[in-house]
Amino acid sequence: MPSPIRCLPVVLGTLLIAACGSAPAPKATVPADAASAGAPAPMEIRERFVSQETPAEELDSLATWQSEDGLTWLIATGKSSHRLSVYDAGDGTLLRTFGSEGKGEGQFDRPNGIAVYGDYVFVVERDNHRVQVLKLPDFTFVGFFGENELRSPYGLWVNETEPGELEVYVTDSFMYGKNFDEVPPLKELDQRVRRYRVQFDQDGRLRATYGGAFGDTKEASALRMVESIAGDRANDRLLVADEDRRHESTLREYSFSGQYTGRSLPQDSFAAEAEGVVLWTCTGGGGYWIAVDQLAPLTLFHLFDRVTLEPRGTFRGDVTAHTDGVTLHAAAMPEFPGGALFAVQDDKAVTAFDLRDVARELHLSQDCVD
């Protein structure tokens, strides 16, 4: 019998991201000292590590997993290699890879979003139109779901609603046209986020039930090109990234009932595409959202107040650029006593920022890293 799910909220991987196969606008190149008009000037925070480059992988999204003996993995999806890469989250050493191209168990076709819950890893496969679930540390196959509904899935977010029962939100960025670059009619954009109820029985078998789809269909606020998604149950908030710079690239706020609240992160916060997003929770119910502004030569990371969504600062690294996926590991590690933010560097490598450095340079609450 498999071990029970260990509820590790710090490894609710997030999330998420892919260079959209629907031929989005190219990644923006902006001078290194550029910040959008509405964002504070970025602080410079040096990465604690940058992994060896592996360009053939085309890395996309990240999640972390912590074993019972304290070892922490950083798991990345590889869109071109059709496999997962596993790094030591402490120093960025590549430990192993898993998977191959195909449609079978333990095989992938364009893996994008990834999330970890307990000992289960959820992997979105864009071109197999499904989510595959595996059990760590051996990547034992558990099951598939979503094949009947998903058309071009990208990101996902996993949340526990009650012990042994999860809800999984998956973004579905299907497009039309010869080059798959045409946004569907507004009336079809109510299918941009799909919801599933997932359970595991006593023998570890997966049972998933489709719970419908949602998305605003108004001209001004519809979700046109979706990838990243992350949630905050305590504040009844889902943030969904819309990357379509032809209209407005921002993160839009939805309730858990699937209703658009009419709010989004300030559009002038993003100079390029709003990409990965992750929630940094702190003692006492506070915290910060960290959102990627996908720039070159250096990515900007914008922080917003967890409750009010007001801007709280911006930083950049020395190396990290063109970032797709990010994930945050708030639990202490030997190398990162206050936790770490991990990011994809230009689809080729992974980088790490010490959360103590972020809190210090942006004058954030020390409750987040103590």
Select 9-368's CATH number: 3.30.930.10, 3.30.470.20, 2.40.70.10, 2.120.10.30. 2.120.10.30
- Confidence check: pLDDT of 197 > 60: yes
pLDDT digits (tens, 9 = 90+) for 110-131: 999 999 999 999 999 999 999 9
Lowest mean pLDDT among 97-101, 135-139, 243-247: 243-247
Section 204-212 average pLDDT: 95
In the 3-class helix/strand/coil scheme, how is the chain assigned residue by residue? CCCCCCCCHHHECCCCCCCCCCCCCCCEECCCCCCCCCCCCCEECCCCEECCCCHHHCEEEEEEEECCCCCEEEEEEECCCCEEEEEECCCCCEEEEECEECCCCCEECCEEEEEEECCEEEEEECCCCEEEEEECCCCEEEEEECCCCCCCEEEEEEEEEECCEEEEEEEECCCECCCCCECCCHHHHHHCEEEEEEEECCCCCEEEEEEEEECCCCCCCCCCCEEEEEEEHHHCEEEEEECCCCCCCEEEEECCCCCEEEEECCHHHCCCEEEEEEEEECHHHCEEEEEEEEEECCCEEEEEECCCCCEEEEEECCCCCCCCCEEEECCCCCCCCCCEEEEEECCCEEEEEEHHHHHHHCCCCHHHCC
For the cut 50, the answer to whether the pLDDT of residue 272 exceeds it is yes
pTM as predicted: 0.90
What pLDDT score was predicted for residue 3?
37
Judged against a pLDDT cut of 60, whether residue 245 lies above it is answered with yes
Question: What would the pLDDT profile of 23-48 be if each residue is shown by its tens digit?
Answer: 444 455 545 455 555 555 899 999 99
pLDDT (0 to 100) of residue 4: 35
Instruction: Tell me the pLDDT tens digit for each residue of 322-361.
Output: 999 999 999 999 999 999 999 999 999 999 999 999 999 9
Amino acid 82: pLDDT: 98
> Residue 99: its pLDDT value, please?
98
What percent of the chain stands above pLDDT 70? 89
pLDDT at 7 over 60: no
Tens digit of each residue's pLDDT (9 = 90 or more) over 160-180: 998 889 999 999 999 999 999
